[in-house]
Structure 1
């Protein structure tokens, strides 16, 4: 039985299939594709939204696995943008986490990719993760797209395995593959740790972070979406791996200060020995949280900029303001 919700004529515009269209990145990408009106989009979803526009068709996805039938969704598709994934979680409940990540991030991805080859899809864009490179960088040694990957958790390992299999598939087929590894993505509607940071600043909660001296790369959602859109057609993107960030790196202290400025508040940070914070993280089981606050994670996007003639279109001051304004607007509705 067909999963497709409607039968449409072959569009005159280039046709895209996106997965993960209800997620943070996928929904922002879908919004941009709708605004641009350059493409006809098939949006694969586990739960249909009933969205009705002239250039978007929803495709019901009962499950994302190595058994999913993509035949109807891939008809006449030129480019697949695959952002759906089993994401990194802080409190893992699976008895075999690596297998759980592989089932979605590797097996389901390759099932879609192989069917895309059969459907003669021109390009497959895979949204991976900087966790493929690792968890932390040392001073002056940012991650690069050409260095040997060293993922340290099961999520990162599964993303690397998917990347390797996709690039191998590109070598034996006509389909081009593009790998994009974002750093921490933020922007209007961001959840998890970044939203918690905004909330702490907004509530003027004193935090012992002023002694931290690190550097972290971030990417604003609009900058990431812009890069994805460039990769749809750019000839130099074929079979390449791209790291993406805003192009500037900030310490944890500076991030809190920028959020405070955007909120018109004071950042209530005070000095505290970093080594004691790290010991406390070990004792309380919050090692990863402390590592993200105290450690550095920088990426070198020079190759991305040079190959694609690309520069992040939104500067960080504007990005922080947009993120905070959405947060304040959301709070007013609670």
Structure 2
């Protein structure tokens, strides 16, 4: 089976390609190459679209930048898919298309969408456009919404948290006992492999993927301290004090603001039951804690 992976240069794409190459013939496609349409193998059977722009931590990207990367490029790839011999289009969206900050109950695919950032709104717009397209009966569209994906090589928030704690700095937000859903890169790759192998069991539409168990931020801290063999205590600063400092960070150059605080302390839970039921998955390769420990150990290296 031949698979084209679009946008394979990032953390997720690089890991996914290495995983798929064990069982399939992979063509990596960069849309920066103006000739990509002409160079696409005519025998490709599956398109996997990872092209897009993620969160802009420096705050320089515009709404237009996000729309182009997350909507227009997805449209271009999908139009080529419709004219090709390929039968399956897997589009990697994001939980941000549904919710970005808070959910105390596990979110499923029937929840109303509430994207807030340019990133989340553009991801949702791409989903809406794709779902409106007419497809022949022999072609299928599967849209995947992962929460934060982590693993070796990850340069996201987990890495930043590790840098702080591994230096012996006590975690100051221990009074917020929140839980969040993640998906390790191993489980992410497993879901994609299962979709490829059992796509006949899936209907066109959106599916959430995530580790089976959520992880509390305080538990992440404990894993980091265990890997680093640290005995440092956590600091339970009063919530009102932390929230006050975050509001101060909204107007002054302070490392914490209300947006960052929400991401660090709110619950954000995801249900993966729909896709597990459809694909008859009983157990994922790694538990949430096993995946997290593997990622943290990679930072240590």
TM-score by length of 2: 0.91
Q: Does residue 132 of the first structure (1) align with residue 97 of the second (2)?
A: yes
Q: What is the CA-CA distance between 1:73 and the residue it aligns to? A: 1.1
The match for 1:88 is 55
The match for 1:70 is 37
5+ residue gaps in structure 2? 251-256
Are the aligned partners of 1:256 and 1:267 in contact in 2 as well (CA < 8 Å)? no
The match for 1:251 is 216
The match for 1:21 is 8
2: distance between equivalents of 1:142 and 1:208? 27
Q: What is the CA-CA distance between 1:169 and the residue it aligns to? A: 1.8
For the residue of structure 1 that corresponds to 2:269, the secondary structure is coil
1:178 to 123, 131, 142: 142
5+ residue gaps in structure 1? 1-13, 47-60, 330-334
The match for 2:254 is none
Q: What is the CA-CA distance between 1:320 and the residue it aligns to? A: 2.6
1:187 to 129, 151, 154: 151
Q: Which is further off, 301-310 or 236-245?
A: 236-245
For the residue of structure 2 that corresponds to 1:80, the secondary structure is strand
1: distance between equivalents of 2:241 and 2:219? 21
The match for 1:7 is none
Pair 163,173 (structure 1): closer, same or farther in 2 beyond 3 Å: farther
2: distance between equivalents of 1:112 and 1:173? 19
1: distance between equivalents of 2:47 and 2:232? 43
For the residue of structure 1 that corresponds to 2:149, the secondary structure is strand
Q: Does residue 79 of the first structure (1) align with residue 46 of the second (2)?
A: yes
For the residue of structure 1 that corresponds to 2:275, the secondary structure is helix
1:274 to 232, 239, 244: 239
2: distance between equivalents of 1:170 and 1:200? 49
The match for 1:306 is 277
Q: What is the CA-CA distance between 1:174 and the residue it aligns to? A: 4.3
Are the aligned partners of 1:137 and 1:296 in contact in 2 as well (CA < 8 Å)? yes
Q: Which is further off, 105-114 or 251-260?
A: 251-260
Instruction: Figure out how many residues of one structure are paired with residues of the other and give that number.
Output: 293
Are the aligned partners of 1:20 and 1:83 in contact in 2 as well (CA < 8 Å)? yes
Q: Does residue 45 of the first structure (1) align with residue 30 of the second (2)?
A: yes
Pair 190,266 (structure 1): closer, same or farther in 2 beyond 3 Å: farther
Q: Does residue 32 of the first structure (1) align with residue 19 of the second (2)?
A: yes
The match for 1:106 is 71
TM-score by length of 1: 0.82
1:325 to 285, 288, 297: 297
1: distance between equivalents of 2:134 and 2:88? 9
Q: What is the CA-CA distance between 1:171 and the residue it aligns to? A: 4.3
Q: Does residue 167 of the first structure (1) align with residue 139 of the second (2)?
A: no
